Amino acid sequence: MPKPTIVFIPGIWEGPTVFTGVSNTVSSLGFQTQAVSLPSTGSRSPGNPSMKDDEAAIRAVVKKLVEEEEKEVLMVMHSAGGFLGSAAIEGLGRKEGRKGGVVKLVFLCAGIAEVGHFHAALPFMDLETGKEAGEMHCVRPRELLFNDLSPEDTEKWLSLLKPQPLSGWGATTDYAGWKEIPSVYLICENDQVLPEAYQAKMSAMVGSKVERCKSGHMVTLSMPDKVVDVIRDAAEEV
């Protein structure tokens, strides 16, 4: 039976390169992979892409795989990628009479949103440092994002972070794919952005199968082998 195509969805600030190590390993196991870039990441307000543009970019990639290439898709979503990816796939689940479809969702310490939720600024968002340039950054990224990486890796990944727009990005979630598609949630117990209790609450709301690890927020960098194991196990359950 063909293996599902793995589609990686990053969170804000980080870009798809955080998945490179995991993607290379997953590819070596015989999976096709594709990572999505969020149009808003690296942009500044005013006139910036919104989260709806991010959802549209995700949808375009998944729709092509599902409808044109008739692929089964397993989506791996980190942080804000959780609610962005879930919102982007309305009508793209596996259906009778269609070969392709999104068959599984994997959430990595991910943000989850119910339908109707409006996305406003959160405490870990720095609204002042880049204000004059129309940029929004992460508050204390060394401590919040990279708390379990080496000093050398921390400096490397700090240099690769990109801004998000200061304003005009947030909107309302209109669809939640996790209501229809089975999922796995990897709780990262040392996450300083999304606390363990939040992740546990979200995974319970979604009804996910729960996996756990001791990672901080950037689990694809600090514990890539664990992420690969979760993806491989999820694919085998399809």
What is the CB neighbour count within 10 angstroms for residue 208? 21
Burial class (CB in 10 A: 0-12, 13-18, 19+), 158: middle
Give the distance, in angstroms, between the CA of residue 20 and the centroid of all CA atoms in the same chain: 14
- Render pLDDT for 97-114 as a digit per residue (tens, 0 to 9): 789 999 999 999 999 999
Residue 10 pLDDT > 80: yes
Residue 168 pLDDT > 80: yes
Q: Parallel, antiparallel, or unpaired for β 183-188 and 101-108?
A: parallel
Mean pLDDT of 221-233: 98
> Considering Cα of 8, then 11, then 13, then 18, what sign does the dihedral take?
negative
Mean pLDDT of 69-81: 98
Residue 76 pLDDT > 90: yes
Mean pLDDT of 196-217: 98
Residues belonging to the active site: 191, 217
Query: What's the Cα-to-Cα distance from 62 to each of 68, 71, 87, 157, 236, rounded to whole Å?
Result: 10, 9, 12, 28, 20
Query: Residue 224: which CATH number?
Result: 3.40.50.1820
Residue 151 pLDDT > 80: yes
- Render pLDDT for 187-198 as a digit per residue (tens, 0 to 9): 999 999 999 999
Query: What's the Cα-to-Cα distance from 67 to each of 2, 31, 71, 178, 233, rounded to whole Å?
Result: 16, 19, 8, 20, 25
Mean pLDDT of 27-37: 98
**With a threshold of 0.95, does the pTM exceed it?**
yes
pLDDT at 53: 98
Domain count across the chain? 1
Ordered alpha helix ranges (H), 64-164: 81-87, 141-144, 151-160
Q: How many CA atoms lie within 13 A of 133 on its CB side?
A: 12
pLDDT at 200: 98
Residue 238 pLDDT > 90: no
Q: Binning pLDDT at 50, 70 and 90, where does residue 134 land?
A: very high
DSSP string, 12-24: TTT-GGGGHHHHH
pLDDT at 122: 96
| Residue 115 neighbours by CB under 8 Å, 6+ apart | 173, 174, 175, 176
- Render pLDDT for 47-65 as a digit per residue (tens, 0 to 9): 999 999 999 999 999 999 9
Among 189, 187, 108, which residue's Cα sits nearest to residue 148? 189
Residue 75 near residue 89 (C-beta atoms within 8 A): yes
Residue 19 pLDDT > 90: yes
97: left (phi over 0), alpha (psi -120 to 50) or beta: left
Q: How many CA atoms lie within 13 A of 107 on its CB side?
A: 32
Give the percent of the chain with pLDDT over 70: 100
Q: Parallel, antiparallel, or unpaired for β 101-108 and 72-78?
A: parallel
| Mean pLDDT computed over every residue of the chain | 97
Q: Binning pLDDT at 50, 70 and 90, where does residue 95 land?
A: confident
pLDDT at 143: 97
Phi, psi of 234 (to 5 degrees): -65, -40
pLDDT at 186: 98
Q: What range defines the domain where residue 144 resides? A: 5-236
Three-class DSSP category at 232: helix
pLDDT at 121: 95
